[in-house]
Chain A
Amino acid sequence: MWQQAINGVFLGAIYALFAVGYALVFGVLDILNLAHQAVFTLSAFVALAFVAEGNMPLAIALPVSLLAAGLIGIGLERVAFRPLRGRSDSNISGLISSLAAATILEAIALQIWGPDVQRFPQGTFPDKPLHVLGATVSALQLTIISVSVVLMAALTAVLRATRLGRQIRAVAESPRAARILGVDVDRVIAWSFFLSSALGGAAGVLFGVAFNSVSPDMGRSVELKGLAVIILGGMGSIAGAVIAGFALGLLEVLTVVQLGSSWRDAVSFGVLFLVLLVRPSGLLGKAAIREA
């Protein structure tokens, strides 16, 4: 029982970390960034490249990849989102634009690294099993859980206690009001993308390490989980994404145990459609469901 809980928390930590990125950008820009999963994937590849070819220890490769992901995020915002701001159809064109960017990033990954699954070289991470409360946890799992939690806590700290965080929250509330109050909205949005993509990238590296598998389509499988998480948690809510992320991880592990692994993905779909049917605003959602 404990074992499943640990596995669930482990999986959920990665889902939560990934989904928080969606929530942050949606909260600020009111647009779903469908390129988030491509940043997730690219970041894993970057980390792999640094470790496998650059002989960098993972502990250094992770923050480097995080930085790279954040920079890709800024580029993404500049190229695919900023030019569309102010257009009357910015919601749908933002979705399409992010899809286009995702496609481009995927093509690049596919061209450079090919379609096959790649693995981290031997000895990249410690694999000592530990015994906690009668369950077997690997040092890797614990590390991943800790890193995820630390990053999410760091984001929360930024949002609550720093000036940038207050500005981000102001822009999320109302860009017009924030601008009147003197906030540099462009800069704030760029920072939001940086933070969002850095976290998404971190999730990618952790995911790649957790399952020792990096491939150009890994983002695709997690994208849907991430979307299910933010629907469950409420589209613009970071706290919701965290709670729902862990919830989904636990739910998924429990389902696999009870029903078998071919049902694993059914959980996210089930959650997704159920929430849309019954309570589209999710657990902590603030976004208006219907315009009129």
Chain B
Amino acid sequence: MPDFAGFFLTYQSLLAFIGLNGLLALSVYCTLCCGQLSLANAGFMAIGAYTGALLTQNAHAPFPVALLAGAVLPAVIAVPLGLPVLRLRGVFLAIATIGFGEVVRLAFVNWSYTNGALGLVAIPQKTRLWMIWVALAAVMFALARLRGSRAGYALEAIREDEAAARTMGIASTHYKLSMFVLGAAIAGFAGALEAHLTYMVAPNGYGFSRAVEMLVYAVVGGDAVFHGPVAGAAFLTVLPEALRGAGRALGLSPGPLRLFLNGAILLAVILFLPNGIVSLPRTLRERRMRKASRAALG
């Protein structure tokens, strides 16, 4: 008798993680869409996760409050972090955010109140699948409406040529900071959601490789449009699962395999399909048109 219950359970869990990874990818998209590379969001996610977990566990706060705090605290921290660095060249932000991620991780590792490296367990499992997907839908909606607004045009301009955008009156630092803070809030919110799904949080789950993973989702999906990151998250969440059997047959361990896939796909995308997999139909169409016009010219 096929295990339908087991299948649905796995299927549900996969959907939950696609949703969460989609949110995380969108948090990275927030900074990418104005041309900034930030690796801080794993750190913000950790802050949100711990905040939410501590509130429900220790303060017995209602779940919505814990979630809200999980979004607000990272956003507040993002301001003093972003302000000094966002007026500098992009590479400084990348470096500062790498540093920030490590600071957060080490802070939690060394904090006895949160059990250091062991982290918190037995967090009440309050997250439901619908909550994740409603949150994802809300964020996608907001980002969709942002695109095409005055601010949306400004962000695209900053991404393409920040100096030229400034000479058009666009206060680029203000916009970059706003998106940085928004990304922090989304990542923190997702962290709080995840904590109440997997019922545990530990510092090493929010390290540099997590930050890179979120970046990979966003870039692979396509960081020029808001639906790209979600597509990337879905693709890259499902792929390692799908290839797990093949990997084992080839003698590859699942951890390195997933890492390798992330890296290789990211490299391929950034080199050959810089606008991500969602731009694939358009790129193929353009290539076909170019071939056709070349043939027509004989």
Write out, one digit per residue, whether chain A residues 263-278 have a CB within 8 A of any chain B CB (1) or not (0): 0011011001100110
Within 8 A of A (CB), among B79-130: 84-85, 87-92, 94-96, 98-99, 102-103, 106, 110
Q: A40 → chain B, closest Cβ, in Å?
A: 15
Interface contact B163-A292, CB-CB below 8 Å: yes
Question: What total of chain A residues lie within 8 Å of the partner, measured CB to CB?
Answer: 51
A39 CB–B CB distance under 8 Å: no
Interface contact A103-B208, CB-CB below 8 Å: no
Q: CA A235 – CA B161 in complex, angstroms?
A: 22
Interface contact B103-A100, CB-CB below 8 Å: no
Q: CA A80 – CA B123 in complex, angstroms?
A: 42
Q: CA A268 – CA B81 in complex, angstroms?
A: 16
A276 partner, pick from B85, B110, B160, B264, beta carbons under 8 A: B85
Interface contact B253-A111, CB-CB below 8 Å: yes
A147 CB–B CB distance under 8 Å: no
A101 CB–B CB distance under 8 Å: yes
Interface contact A104-B267, CB-CB below 8 Å: yes
A227 and B95 contact, Cβ closer than 8 Å, known pairs A80-B267, A110-B255? yes
A252 CB–B CB distance under 8 Å: no
Q: CA A266 – CA B92 in complex, angstroms?
A: 19
Interface contact A223-B98, CB-CB below 8 Å: yes
CB-defined contacts of A231 to chain B, threshold 8 Å: 92, 95
Interface contact A290-B87, CB-CB below 8 Å: yes
Question: What total of chain B residues lie within 8 Å of the partner, measured CB to CB?
Answer: 46
Q: CA A100 – CA B217 in complex, angstroms?
A: 12
Closest to A223 in B: B98
B259 CB–A CB distance under 8 Å: yes
A96 and B88 contact, Cβ closer than 8 Å, known pairs A110-B259, A273-B99? no
| Extra A-B contacts (20), CB below 8 Å, given A88-B161, A111-B253, A287-B89 | A79-B267, A89-B274, A95-B94, A97-B271, A103-B262, A104-B263, A104-B264, A107-B257, A107-B263, A111-B252, A111-B256, A231-B92, A231-B95, A273-B96, A273-B99, A276-B92, A277-B84, A289-B92, A290-B89, A292-B166
Task: Please give the residue numbers on chain B whose beta carbons come within 8 Å of chain A beta carbons, in ascending order.
Answer: 35-37, 84-85, 87-92, 94-96, 98-99, 102-103, 106, 110, 160-163, 166-167, 208, 212, 215-216, 219, 252-253, 255-257, 259-260, 262-264, 266-267, 270-271, 274
Task: Please give the residue numbers on chain A whose beta carbons come within 8 Å of chain B beta carbons, in ascending order.
Answer: 31-32, 79-80, 83-84, 87-89, 91-93, 95-97, 99-108, 110-111, 115, 220, 223-224, 227-228, 231, 235, 262, 265-266, 268-269, 272-273, 276-277, 280, 287-292
- A/B interface sample: 21 pairs, CB < 8 A: A89-B274, A95-B90, A95-B91, A97-B270, A99-B215, A100-B266, A100-B270, A103-B259, A103-B266, A108-B256, A110-B256, A111-B260, A266-B106, A269-B102, A276-B85, A276-B96, A289-B88, A290-B87, A290-B88, A292-B166, A292-B167
